[in-house]
Every structure is written in C-alpha cells, then in structure tokens.
Structure 1
Amino acid sequence: MPQTTPTPALVIFDCDGVLVDSETISNQALVDNLARYGLNLDLAGSMSLFVGSTMTGVMDKARNLGADLHDGWIDEVYQETYAALENGVDLIPGIPELLQTLDRAGIPTCVASNGSEHKMQITLGQNGLWQRFHHAMFSAHALGMSKPDPGLFLAAASHFNVQARDCLVIEDSPTGALAAARAGMRCLGYAAITPAETLSDQGAEVIRDMSDVARLIGL
C-alpha cells in the first residue's frame, strides 16, 4: 500500500544486494558447496532459486532438487560463505550518496535482513556501515521471523514509532517485496540482479539505480 505522501518517515534497507554487493559472492560459495553434494547449478540458477531465502529454505529447496545434505550443512555453508565475504565486498553503487541525502533530510534508516548479524558485521563492517546500523538492525536470526513474513519490517516501524504506511522499504528480492506488501509499506525493488517483473509482481516499484530513490521520495 503506497503512502499518501512520497517522503517517508523511515527507510528500511535490506542488506545483501541493496547495501552491499554480496549476492554474487554468497551464491558462488553456495554453488561450489552444493556441487560437492550432487547438485550442480550455475550462478544464475542459484540466484534465481535462492536469493531472498533463509538458509533453512535453501537447504529444503536443495534437498528437493537432489542434494544429499547432512544435518550440519547449514553451519558448514555459513562458514564457507563468510570466508568468501571476508575477502572483500563492495557497497552497492549510489548507497553512500543516498545515505547522505537521507541524513540531510533527517530521515532515519535501518536494516532488516533474513541474514545473520554476524554476516552483516562482515559485509557492513568492511564498508564503514556497521557502526551506523548495528543499533538499528533487525535480523531474522535474532527475531525468529523471516521474510516474506512482514514481522521484520513491522518490528522496525515499531522501534522507530512510525506507522507502516509512512515507511519505505528498499529490497532486491521478491520475498522481501512480498514482506513489504504484507506490512502495508511502500517498496522500491532494486533490479540490478533480480528480474524486474519478479519484483513488480509483488507490488514493488522497480528501480535500476540507487540514484533514482531520492527523486521518487520527493528529495
């Protein structure tokens, strides 16, 4: 449900693929891991299947596709993914400028992610954003609810004492866009990797560059 005025009272960022360019790295680690368990995917296939999923969801999907995964697999793939991310993750282009614009306008920001706080500490910490966000971070691992459940976004709105209709979510996955729709929040869907139609099908307004955001919210 789009808000009645374009300028939000709170901007909620997803982390992977929105703040940091981590999706390709994480999915390549996943591809390499799953190949050892009998499931051969290319990078595009992995991203189509798994972007926006929790790791439990990834495990279930991979098993259904034939991967012979042991019960401790999630811990294993996390370790491999974190090691890959520690080698270096860039910010999404335009994010520093967007954050500066929001700061100048006095609009608070936070992060809501299906990823763990440990993962965000690795990725955001490399880029100077951990200090900015770690007091305003809503992780599925910590809160026990994950997108497409709207709970992460609603928890963020409640924390800032902002109505859902006055929030803006920036997402890159259909799972996140659906969670925003269920929360009654406006969503901009960043279509750098995810096909635009899969975002718009869940009610997101598609953007292809973070420089589009300021104009769309009246700044």
Structure 2
Amino acid sequence: MTLPPDLVIFDCDGVLVDSEAMTLAIMRNSFAQHGLDLTTAQADSLFVGGTMRTAMQTARKMGAVLPDDWVEQVYEEIYAALAAGVELVPGIVSVLDALDAAGIRYGVGSNGRHEKMEITLNRTGLMDRLQGRVFSRQDVAHPKPAPDLYLHVAAQLGVPASRAVVVEDSPTGAQAAKAAGMVCFGFTAETHPDRMTPICDAVFDRMDVLPGLLGV
C-alpha cells in the first residue's frame, strides 16, 4: 500500500480508550469467585481482543463454574466501572486531529458491544466525533479474528479494504485485519511486542509515533 491510507480503522478498547486493564481485573476477579484463578498475564493472553461469550466458554473449559447469565452479570459490573473511571489512551486525540487535518477518514471496529462503546466513548468525549462510524461485532456474523467486522467498516465508509489501515492492540484483532487484506499497525503499550510483531506490518508503543507510520 502507498501511504497515507484512505481510511484508518481503530479498535476501541486499548487503542482509543484505556479500558483493557480495568475490564481484565473485573473478569479475573469474577473467574476467581467461580473457581478459576488466573494471573494478569494469563488473562491478557486468553481474553484480550476476544468476545465475552468466548471468554466464558474458555473459562468453563479451564474449570470455572459459571452461571448461564455470567456474560450479562460481568458486563453490568464492567459498565459501571467504565462509566466511573475510563480514560483516553494518551495521545489518541492528537492522532485524530492529524487525520482530520490530512483529510483521512477513520472509524472504529470493536469486538465489544455497542452499549460498552456508548459508555466509554461518551465518557471520554469521542462519541460526537465518531458518530456514525462506530461498528461492533454485533453488526456482523462473525467476530474477530474473522475479517467480517473490518470488511464491514470499510464497506460502510466507502473505502476499499486495500486502502485501509487497522490499528490494533491484540493478536486476535491483528489476525482479523490481515484476513481482511488490510495493513495492520500493532499498538504495544500494554501488549508484548512479541505477540504482535509476527502478525503486524509494524508495531509501536506510543501514539505520537502513529501519524508518522501512517504517512501523515
């Protein structure tokens, strides 16, 4: 691809909003209450970038005795915590400003629910800016690592997949981007670079580096 791209698609959690650590802590605590103790590193490796339904299935296979309504229970707790305390990923506003100045379109593609993004993006002041450009795995048949969501975002925003760049912080999301035929830049502030480097076209750990990678 010749840079800059025509479209940049951002994952939400861990890329736009600093929500991953908070969410993982709540999930770990809930799993421990139901018989499965995991380290932060284990939870990160198993669950970041995936869906809550898949997390429940994985935890059950590992020995957690979870009620059938666990997903709704844990989401209620997560939503309350995010509404009270989620913050922006440092530097992301400057990235969006640079894209606006360059006339480059951008949108969001997340395995999280729309309800969750309503909370996090509204609290951090990004929702007005992103209105009409926020897409969830609820909008497609298959979540990441399938390519469906990223292909859907590009189609909805009128840009060929070959002209889109994805910014991701999880191997699951990076696999989805590559399956969609898109360039992927891996954000490694909270994810070990070794997990992202084999999948991504480039990795970076500070948002102020991203405009340069995008050719902006």
TM score, norm. by length of structure 2: 0.97
| Distance in 1 (alpha carbons) for counterparts of 2:22 and 2:155 | 33
Deviation at 1:42, TM superposition (A): 2.6
Q: Percent identity?
A: 45
2:172 alignment counterpart: 175
Residue pair 1:177, 1:204 contacting (<8 A) in 2 also: no
Within the candidate set 139, 152, 157, 1:155 is matched to: 152
Within the candidate set 69, 79, 84, 1:82 is matched to: 79
Residue correspondence of structure 1 range 11-160 to structure 2 within 5 A = 11-160=8-157
CA RMSD of aligned residues (A): 1.1
Deviations 1:3-44, CA, capped at 9 Å, x for gaps: 1x1101000000000000000000011111111100112323
Q: Does 2:212 match 1:211?
A: no
| Distance in 1 (alpha carbons) for counterparts of 2:75 and 2:150 | 24
Amino acid at match of 2:84: N
Amino acid at match of 1:156: V
| Distance in 1 (alpha carbons) for counterparts of 2:41 and 2:18 | 15
**Unaligned stretches of 5+ in structure 2?**
none
Amino acid at match of 2:159: V
Deviation at 1:64, TM superposition (A): 1.1
Deviation at 1:54, TM superposition (A): 0.6
| Distance in 2 (alpha carbons) for counterparts of 1:84 and 1:137 | 21
**Unaligned stretches of 5+ in structure 1?**
none
Deviation at 1:145, TM superposition (A): 2.3
Change (3 A) 1:134 1:145: farther
TM score, norm. by length of structure 1: 0.95
Residue pair 1:149, 1:179 contacting (<8 A) in 2 also: yes
Deviations 1:169-203, CA, capped at 9 Å, x for gaps: 00000000000100110010000111111112223
Aligned pair count?
216
| Distance in 2 (alpha carbons) for counterparts of 1:41 and 1:61 | 12
Residue pair 2:161, 2:182 contacting (<8 A) in 1 also: yes
| Distance in 1 (alpha carbons) for counterparts of 2:43 and 2:102 | 38
Residue pair 2:139, 2:149 contacting (<8 A) in 1 also: no
Deviations 1:58-117, CA, capped at 9 Å, x for gaps: 011101110001111111111111111112111111101000000000111100000001
Residue pair 1:116, 1:142 contacting (<8 A) in 2 also: no
| Distance in 2 (alpha carbons) for counterparts of 1:132 and 1:17 | 18
Residue pair 2:141, 2:148 contacting (<8 A) in 1 also: no
2:188 alignment counterpart: 191
